[in-house]
Chains A and B, each alone.
Chain A
Amino acid sequence: MSKAVRLEGITKRFPGVVANDDVHFEVERGTVHALLGENGAGKTTLMNVLYGLYEPTSGRVEVDGEKRRFDSPRDAIDAGIGMIHQHFMLVDPMTVTENITLGNEPRKWGGLAVDRTAAREEVTALADRYGFDIDPDARIEDVSVGEQQRVEILKALYRGADTLILDEPTAVLTPQEIDDLFGVLGELTAQGKTIIFITHKLGEAMAAADEISVLRDGRKVGTVDAGDTTREGLAELMVGREVLLDVDRPPAETGDVVASLSDITVDDDRGVRAVDGVDFELRGGEVLGIAGVDGNGQSELVEALTGLRTPDAGTVEFLGADVTDDSRRRRTEAGMAYIPEDRQERGVVMNFDLVENALLGSQHSTEFGPNGRIDWPETRAHAETVIDEYDVRTPGADTAAKSLSGGNQQKFIVGREFERDPELVVASHPTRGVDVGSIEFIHERLLELREAGVAVLLISSKLEEVQGLSDRLAVMYEGEFVDVVDPTTTTESELGLLMAGQDPAESDDPGTAESTDRDDPVDAPAGGERA
């Protein structure tokens, strides 16, 4: 049987980095092939080579058994390769049909006009053929992320793609939409299309793919059949050593109260009550986890605590002082570190290099700026410390934050915040979109801080994360703490019930617990929209 795609000995060098090192990779026609690896392992680079966006330093590309050389995506498209990028390549104010036909518009009147009727019919026919439910006249900015992704897929199919490359397709989707996507992939392969699916999530690779190839540090370390492998086996391939998915930790030795919130009430940007009378105390040396489906007020609560949003009622006390009306800067200086949930929006300035990013939040501190001037050598040394100690993979401190992979950006932010020597760390989804190796690393650092007597507030939508790290676990639902539980003695299904706003004590029928657990993803889309 012929291979849909065959990459042989692909090497791609960038200044200072070897992104792909002699990679051999082949995909069987009509299958889903997952390309798995940590962030920065070189998955996207490899696929950009296949798609003609990058020219490989050496190596050859074969499509359907024929050697090809792609100078531009146009060549790859002509060879039947389509790519759905992580950031969609769609023009927001244009309609679904206009986007799908962009660059290949059907014409009439000798090319003088776009044949809009034909375009619409072709798009509708294509969508019907693959069972996509889509409004051809909707504007991209008005449709959901899941639909935008289907538009991207249709766009590739419209151009006659036989092989589709999907770059981290699930990163932006809600659990419900992920299920839909996997259904779509099944439909596509059933009709003879070949799918290459880039991901760093083990579970998804195993759920969706027929075969899985693993990349590590730019090299391919193995190709396995999805049917005969295990999560542990894949994780080991990805990081190159055995991963402890469970975290060991001694019991908490709690100290004084570091932060105390009473009766915090916050309205969100639309004026809807997001946080409704939340109280809690946080002591040094403990991790308080907040679990809950995204969009139940966690973001607003964190913003009220860190000073990014003024609560509409209630008080925030930090180290015994009322800081409710204090600015973010004063709270930072008082020892409140913050790992924001959207790292590219709030964690780093993408166009700044790492030296400048290392300074952020400390720009007023006398440590880096005697007399209002900035001591750049000192700042550089600080940036290099963070890079070294937090294992940030970068060519150097002068690299712009935007050229780091997501996981490395996150490690850098974590390092910068932890190096502040904080009394309180507010970590909002600290491992979202981060690869397995970095997750483990960030977890260890959080626990080190806890042992050093720092108070940690951990917000995460990943249950295993909050369960594994927290000493106490609060479950948030519709702006309130439903309950605060001991994570070691609470089961996942009990937590699931709490996250759905029910008290498990009131229902001892396990069947109910099951079904509520399954309901979570249904709630999630609402959260997804707000995130």
Chain B
Amino acid sequence: MSDAPAEAPGTDAEAGSDPDPDSTPNAGPLGSRSNRELIAWAAIGTLAALLLGGAAFPNTILGVLADVITDKDTLSAALRLSVPIAFAALGGIFSEKSGVINIGLEGLLIISAFTAIYVTDVTGGIWIGFGGGVVASTLLALLFAVVTIEFRADQIIAGLAVWLIALGLAPFASQVIYNGPNTPTVGTTGSIYVPVLAEIPFFGALFSASPSVYMLFVAVAASWYVFERTAFGRWIRASGENPKALDTAGVNVSRVRYVGILVSGVLAGMGGSALSLDLGQFTGNGPTMVNGKGFIAIVAYLFGNYNPIGAFLATMLFAGLDAIQTVLQLQGIGLPRQLIRIIPFVVVIVVLALVGRTRLPEAAGDHYESGEE
């Protein structure tokens, strides 16, 4: 009894850093923070040691782990799991860079996940349902924008309210409409299969994925482009760093922030719709099927230093761990399932501790009113 917990932390750490290599080759765009690089290099090292060890001793735990990591299904699952988190993280970046901390991402995911299923059920069109989820999330984000910008509500409290509203509303609506917290099953978005390319070992997973995975790639690239290349991206940054500078330059800060929040609503809505339509069902028990993904998204964009690409890679780390732990639970490697299940959460905590402080936008969380001293 006392042996198991003593052994557990070591195993956690080992297994925990596995999928990190996903983020490694791209540590550059994350910025020059040495701790981030340190994590990335440590992950490469751990992974290399693990794969070598696995090759050398195929019949040990190392061998099993190495097999799991290099399995095409693991990448496939990681991509699928990362979709809602990464969309929400992108949305969070838009909002927070503009100066409004949106911790209601979880709520936006929940409301869009439910609405997507409901609209699909009513209209029969999966993509109409997808759009419906996006609209619902955007409307809730608009409400958040109005109370924080117009009525100067505290952003954190308003964000919590968004979460709580969605957390109560979605299962309640399901109860009223379907007599239960879980909706019936509707069609799913299915997947796009590229012949030949999908046969490639491991990376073939990239060519046999749900449409939402490809939409995510486009969204990551587009977000990066907006921040790095467009005037509006600069306004968003300025609005979060020094809104007064933007105001005196003649740009309406409130308008920029509205757009930032609405974009976060659209993106989170895409994530939520993709989440539920991937399964074809919304489950509303307890924390609902979203189950903290919106909060992990916040960690992901902080770890990614507000860079869309960084946030995506951070998401892949967390989602990859999640995928691995699912496989490990099924395979059974002599550890209690409960311990394996917590691996992603342990890694989130370790990463946060190691990254140290991410530099928040200077004016994030502050209300801004033009003409006030």
Which residues of A are at the interface with B, using a C-beta cutoff of 8 A? 53-54, 72-74, 77, 83, 85, 89-94, 98-99, 102-105, 107, 111-114, 155, 159, 403
Are the C-beta atoms of A94 and B362 separated by less than 8 Å?
no
Can you list 7 contacts pairing A with B, beta carbon distance less than 8 Å?
A: A73-B248, A89-B242, A89-B248, A90-B245, A94-B234, A113-B229, A403-B373
Are the C-beta atoms of B245 and A91 separated by less than 8 Å?
yes
Instruction: Specify the chain B residue showing the minimal Cβ separation from A403.
Output: B373
Q: What is the CA–CA distance of A72 and B252 in the complex, to the nearest angstrom?
A: 10
Determine the chain A residues whose CB is within 8 A of the CB of B235 once the complex forms: 102-103
Within 8 Å by CB of B245, from A89, A113, A403, lies A89
Are the C-beta atoms of A99 and B250 separated by less than 8 Å?
no
Contact with A along B196-238 (1 / 0, CB 8 A): 0000000000000000000000000000000001110011011
Determine the chain A residues whose CB is within 8 A of the CB of B241 once the complex forms: 91-94
Determine the chain A residues whose CB is within 8 A of the CB of B247 once the complex forms: 73
Q: What is the CA–CA distance of A159 and B247 in the complex, to the nearest angstrom?
A: 14
Q: What is the CA–CA distance of A155 and B245 in the complex, to the nearest angstrom?
A: 11
Instruction: Specify the chain B residue showing the minimal Cβ separation from A116.
Output: B229
CB of B244 closer than 8 Å to a CB of A: yes
Are the C-beta atoms of B237 and A91 separated by less than 8 Å?
yes
Determine the chain A residues whose CB is within 8 A of the CB of B230 once the complex forms: 112-114
CB of B371 closer than 8 Å to a CB of A: yes
Kindly provide the distance from the CB of A75 to the nearest chain B CB, expressed in whole angstroms: 9
Determine the chain B residues whose CB is within 8 A of the CB of A89 once the complex forms: 242, 244-245, 248-249
CB of B49 closer than 8 Å to a CB of A: no
Are the C-beta atoms of B371 and A74 separated by less than 8 Å?
no
Are the C-beta atoms of B238 and A91 separated by less than 8 Å?
yes
Q: Is the interface of B mostly helix, strand, loop or mixed?
A: helix
Given contacts A73-B250, A91-B241, A403-B373, contact A102 B234 (CB under 8 A): yes
Kindly provide the distance from the CB of A82 to the nearest chain B CB, expressed in whole angstroms: 9
Are the C-beta atoms of A104 and B249 separated by less than 8 Å?
yes
Kindly provide the distance from the CB of B29 to the nearest chain A CB, expressed in whole angstroms: 16
Q: Considering residues A89, A98, A112, A159, which has the most beta carbons from chain B within 10 angstroms of its beta carbon?
A: A89
CB of B313 closer than 8 Å to a CB of A: no
Q: What is the CA–CA distance of A411 and B159 in the complex, to the nearest angstrom?
A: 42
Given contacts A91-B238, A98-B234, A105-B231, contact A74 B250 (CB under 8 A): yes
Are the C-beta atoms of A94 and B231 separated by less than 8 Å?
no
Determine the chain A residues whose CB is within 8 A of the CB of B244 once the complex forms: 89
Given contacts A91-B237, A92-B362, A94-B237, contact A102 B245 (CB under 8 A): yes
Q: Considering residues B242, B246, B370, B371, which has the most beta carbons from chain A within 10 angstroms of its beta carbon?
A: B242
Are the C-beta atoms of B370 and A72 separated by less than 8 Å?
yes
Q: What is the CA–CA distance of A85 and B249 in the complex, to the nearest angstrom?
A: 12
Given contacts A114-B234, A403-B373, contact A72 B250 (CB under 8 A): yes
Q: What is the CA–CA distance of A104 and B234 in the complex, to the nearest angstrom?
A: 11
Determine the chain B residues whose CB is within 8 A of the CB of A74 once the complex forms: 250
Instruction: Specify the chain A residue showing the minimal Cβ separation from B362.
Output: A92
Q: What is the CA–CA distance of A107 and B230 in the complex, to the nearest angstrom?
A: 8
Are the C-beta atoms of A99 and B248 separated by less than 8 Å?
no
Q: What is the CA–CA distance of A107 and B248 in the complex, to the nearest angstrom?
A: 20
CB of B164 closer than 8 Å to a CB of A: no
Determine the chain B residues whose CB is within 8 A of the CB of A102 once the complex forms: 234-235, 238, 245-246, 249, 251
Are the C-beta atoms of B237 and A103 separated by less than 8 Å?
no
**Using a CB-CB cutoff of 8 Å, which residues 278-334 of chain B contact chain A?**
none
For the A-B complex with A72-B250, A102-B246 known, give 20 more contacts whose Cβ atoms are closer than 8 Å: A72-B370, A73-B247, A73-B248, A85-B248, A89-B244, A89-B245, A89-B248, A91-B242, A91-B245, A91-B246, A93-B237, A93-B241, A102-B234, A103-B249, A104-B249, A104-B250, A113-B229, A114-B230, A114-B231, A155-B249
Kindly provide the distance from the CB of A274 to the nearest chain B CB, expressed in whole angstroms: 27
Are the C-beta atoms of A103 and B246 separated by less than 8 Å?
yes
Q: What is the CA–CA distance of A54 and B370 in the complex, to the nearest angstrom?
A: 10
Q: What is the CA–CA distance of A110 and B246 in the complex, to the nearest angstrom?
A: 23
Determine the chain A residues whose CB is within 8 A of the CB of B246 once the complex forms: 91, 102-103
Determine the chain B residues whose CB is within 8 A of the CB of A155 once the complex forms: 249
Q: What is the CA–CA distance of A400 and B198 in the complex, to the nearest angstrom?
A: 66
Determine the chain B residues whose CB is within 8 A of the CB of A72 once the complex forms: 250, 370-371
Q: What is the CA–CA distance of A72 and B248 in the complex, to the nearest angstrom?
A: 9
Kindly provide the distance from the CB of A84 to the nearest chain B CB, expressed in whole angstroms: 10
Instruction: Specify the chain B residue showing the minimal Cβ separation from A113.
Output: B229
Q: What is the CA–CA distance of A103 and B252 in the complex, to the nearest angstrom?
A: 10
Are the C-beta atoms of B249 and A92 separated by less than 8 Å?
no
Kindly provide the distance from the CB of B152 to the nearest chain A CB, expressed in whole angstroms: 15
Within 8 Å by CB of A114, from B229, B237, B245, B249, lies B229
Kindly provide the distance from the CB of B111 to the nearest chain A CB, expressed in whole angstroms: 31
Kindly provide the distance from the CB of A518 to the nearest chain B CB, expressed in whole angstroms: 37
Determine the chain A residues whose CB is within 8 A of the CB of B238 once the complex forms: 91, 94, 102
Q: What is the CA–CA distance of A99 and B238 in the complex, to the nearest angstrom?
A: 9
Are the C-beta atoms of B248 and A83 separated by less than 8 Å?
yes
Q: Considering residues B237, B247, B250, which has the most beta carbons from chain A within 10 angstroms of its beta carbon?
A: B250
Within 8 Å by CB of B371, from A54, A91, A105, A111, lies A54
Determine the chain A residues whose CB is within 8 A of the CB of B362 once the complex forms: 92
Determine the chain B residues whose CB is within 8 A of the CB of A159 once the complex forms: 249-250
Report, nearest first, the 8 A-B pairs whose CB atoms are least far apart. A103-B249, A74-B250, A89-B245, A105-B231, A103-B251, A91-B241, A102-B249, A91-B238
Given contacts A54-B371, A77-B250, A114-B229, contact A105 B234 (CB under 8 A): yes
Are the C-beta atoms of A103 and B242 separated by less than 8 Å?
no
Q: What is the CA–CA distance of A89 and B238 in the complex, to the nearest angstrom?
A: 10
Instruction: Specify the chain A residue showing the minimal Cβ separation from B242.
Output: A91
Kindly provide the distance from the CB of B343 to the nearest chain A CB, expressed in whole angstroms: 35
Q: What is the CA–CA distance of A213 and B35 in the complex, to the nearest angstrom?
A: 55
